[in-house]
A and B are shown apart, each in its own frame.
Chain A
Amino acid sequence: MASAAAVLVLTASACAGGGSSSSSSSASSSRAANAAAITKPVTITFDEVEAAGSLKTAMQSAVTAFEKANPKITVSLTAYSTYGPLLTAETAQVAAGKAPTIGQAYESWAEKFATSKVIVPISSLPGAASTMTTDLSTFYTGVQNDLKLPDGQVWMWPFSKSLQVLFYNADLLKADGITSTPTTWTQFAADLKTASKNGVVGITIDPGNATEGVTSGEEWLEELAASNGTQVYTSDGAPQFTSPAVVAALDYLVTLKKEGALATGTNYPGETALGAKKGLVDLSSSAGYYYEQQTVGGKFPLTTTVLPSGSSGSADEMAGANLVVFSSATTEQKAAAWKFLQFLSGPAEQAAWSAATGYYPVTSQALTEPAMASYLKQNPWVSTTITGLNNAIVDPPYSWVTQCGIDLSTAISAALSGTSASSALSTAQSACTTAKSNA
């Protein structure tokens, strides 16, 4: 059954923008053609956040494989614990004139980097102009769109993407008589309320703050709003925080809190609560799969599902930073960087990376790779959720969105602390609008 579902998904994803076999072979040949571009030893530096556990191991394996295939290129990794320190480090290095060759960056960072003229468009990398379009076409549609800045150019390249999923304590589901996981947010709320007793709180979220950056709590609000029919931003980055859909989304969280079905915390509190059998479900990134398993430690089986739907359908937010190349790199480093970007986003490495980390591959071609087969068999939920990369919601690539995300987090905290949802969101709307106009 799982295999059949996987086949269906493979077919669907290929048709929905995941590329075709012809483009796959074309991309492979273009990669081979570029292999001769590097004629003398070159070292590229890469600032990233794959600092621990399976992420660190997988990243080191990727670099080893790349260096073996490209003996003249050395990749020097510098890992940071989270995205906050990464941004600080990248900024400091750019300011000091010692930027890395490649860095991970969210869309809003990339826009700031681009307008400050410290990164280059991907098409400007040596060897990229002739092959980039072909490579690009192999990515899921949502991933393709996520790589462009408002000027329409591709400034970023994909590497690790994820969607949010729900990790349930299957034993608690059974004990509470919940025979099937919810398909609507209304049903989800009812299940949380049912489970919240005897020290168990249905779900625990992190509303987020400036220290932590984007958190699952803030993303959940965005997904609820989108499933109610309105995204929190327009495509040009204008906030719509006071729209009825966003207010209803925040009211949904407030109601859960009042009913004792939602708690707040920091530092992945939902995962901690789930592992301690104090939570029914955790809303988290698919890339958190191995961390969830580690936290649960075999105490109970995990059931993983897609997000429920709202009145206007389902909405899932794509997460995971992209890669950018800094303008201070030499021509040789830029050529090597393009080869590394191609390697990381290629089907074989994407399959290995996804199977090892829980991130989704950015191209459907990875799903047929041997490294992916056993992973898909063990985790059929991946097959049922991955096509979400075609139409996932993404925060628009504007620098002020970082500020607005913090404003939204503050609004969640305020509403859960007693301020009315509309008032909290009105404050956030005002602050975000000011940030937009200042930018």
Chain B
Amino acid sequence: MIGTTTGAAGSAGTGQTGGRKRAKRVGHGTERDFRRTKKGWLYSGPAVLIFGAFIILPTFYTFYVSLWNWNVLNPSLSVYKGLGNYKELLTATDPGFLQTLWNSLYFTGAMVIAGTAISLCLALLLQRGGSIMNASRVAIYLPNATPLIATSLIWGWIYNPQFGLANWVLHSLHLPTSPWVEGQATSMPAVILFSLWHEVGFTMIVFLGGLTIINDEYSEAARVDGAGPWQEFWYVTWPQLRPVTSFVIVITTILSLQSFTQFYQLSGGGPNNATTTLSYLVYEESQVLQNTGYAAALAVVLFLITVFFTFVRWRTTPGVSATS
């Protein structure tokens, strides 16, 4: 196992090394393995301290707070509830926990499926070089570089049912207009559409990166054997992109489960809780209603769901679980 790389890029890289001479690596226990030296701890110390202070400790603190009816204004007045907050999750209404969980999964599922498909298609279309292709890549990536809160504000106006650009375009094309984020059935699709516009640029770049390192010899061989474009993609190209695809799915799943800004600014969790996701509900309960203990319980559940999906993908991704 010495010198084996892990993760998507590593696996993809392993695939193309073929008969090349592998670079000499330094294994565990050697002098240059900084993971086992004082210098190594010195170098990683600042990162570990920051990670511990801002991620690890707050995570454990959230577990602790979730067991209390926590008074954030005066913690000495907090009352221990044990698993009471978790039991309330199951009985809560308006919105119910299951409804918000469904909303989170709806959004996440749509982002993973549509986001992965769209970004893969865009990457395949734009993988060839040239000024137009490069300009297109920049144009598609640009939304991802913009602040989510700012573009959410702008899209709020685009979606305005009375004056918005979206309905103006539909009306001009003699198509039926939509209430967009104001409609119970249309609000989540509208948020998903905006989120795809904002996010696919990043995942497209990841796929483009994957496409640059796959082995062209297999594709050439397939074409010589008479494979069409679709067969070449399905049987040759995409299988080589499996590690990249897996990475995109995992990262999209995690980011989608944690998405908050667009729900806060664009739809406010409404109408009628149609876009109240777990992340938004954590905000609502903790910041608006100051039900800190209950919000902490929600955050713990969201954390466990995220861990679950990450674990599932980790176990089902070839070359990742085996090397760990």
Contact = CB atoms under 8 A, between A and B. Distances in A.
Interface stretch (A17-25, A61-69, A73-81, A87-95): A87-95
Contacts of A413: 184, 270-272
Contact of A207 (B270, B289, B290): B270
Interface in B248-268: 264-265, 267-268
A264 B182 contact: yes
Nearest to A84: B288
B81 to A, nearest CB: 11
Contacts, number: 106
Given A266-B156, A278-B163, A402-B288, A212 B94 contact: no
A434 B93 CA distance: 9
A427 interface: yes
A417 B269 contact: no
Contacts of A112: 73, 290
A117 B74 contact: yes
B161 interface: yes
Contact of A117 (B77, B269, B273, B283): B77
B316 interface: no
Nearest to B72: A95
A30 interface: no
B77 A410 contact: no
Interface in A236-289: 263-267, 269, 272-273, 276, 278
Contacts of B280: 210
A210 B284 contact: yes
Nearest to B163: A276
Contact of B271 (A91, A116, A407, A414): A414
A27 interface: no
Contact of B163 (A207, A212, A272, A402): A272
A204 interface: yes
B184 A210 contact: no
Given A118-B73, A403-B289, A266 B268 contact: yes
A209 B270 contact: yes
Contact of A265 (B88, B182, B288): B182
Contact of B272 (A91, A113, A116, A419): A419
A430 B96 CA distance: 12
A88 B71 CA distance: 14
Given A84-B288, A427-B93, A118 B268 contact: no
Contacts of A403: 289
Interface residues of B, number: 36
A173 interface: no
Contacts of A410: 94-95, 270-273
Interface string A82-121: 0010011001001100000000000000001100111000
A45 B161 CA distance: 42
Contacts of B156: 266-267
Given A91-B73, A113-B73, A211 B265 contact: yes
A213 interface: yes
Contacts of A211: 264-265, 268-269
Q: Residue among B264, B267, B268 with the most chain A CB within 10 A?
A: B268
Main secondary structure of the interface of A (DSSP, over half): helix
A410 B280 CA distance: 15
B134 interface: no
A152 interface: no
A417 B94 contact: no
A201 B92 CA distance: 37
B21 to A, nearest CB: 58
Interface string B67-97: 0000111100100000000001001111100
A427 B95 CA distance: 9
Interface in A119-138: none
Contacts of B273: 410
Contacts of B267: 209
A207 B271 contact: yes
A318 interface: no
Given A95-B73, A430-B94, A265 B272 contact: no
Contacts of B91: 434
A382 interface: no
Nearest to B288: A210
A263 B177 CA distance: 14
Nearest to A433: B93
B136 interface: no
Nearest to A414: B272
A112 B70 CA distance: 13
Interface in A44-68: none
B155 to A, nearest CB: 12
Contacts of B287: 84, 87-88, 91
Interface in A169-220: 201, 204, 207, 209-213
B73 A427 contact: no
Contacts of B109: none
Contacts of B127: none
A116 B70 CA distance: 11
Contacts of B73: 91, 94-95, 112-113, 116, 118
B92 to A, nearest CB: 8
A168 B290 CA distance: 38
Task: Please give me the 3 A-B residue pairs with the lowest Cβ-Cβ distance, nearest first.
Answer: A209-B268, A413-B271, A431-B94
Given A94-B73, A210-B268, A210-B284, 16 more contacts: A84-B287, A95-B72, A116-B73, A118-B74, A209-B268, A210-B288, A211-B264, A212-B268, A263-B161, A269-B160, A273-B162, A402-B288, A406-B288, A427-B93, A431-B93, A434-B93
17 contacts: A95-B73, A112-B73, A209-B271, A263-B161, A265-B160, A266-B156, A272-B163, A406-B288, A414-B184, A417-B184, A424-B272, A427-B94, A430-B94, A431-B93, A434-B91, A434-B92, A438-B88
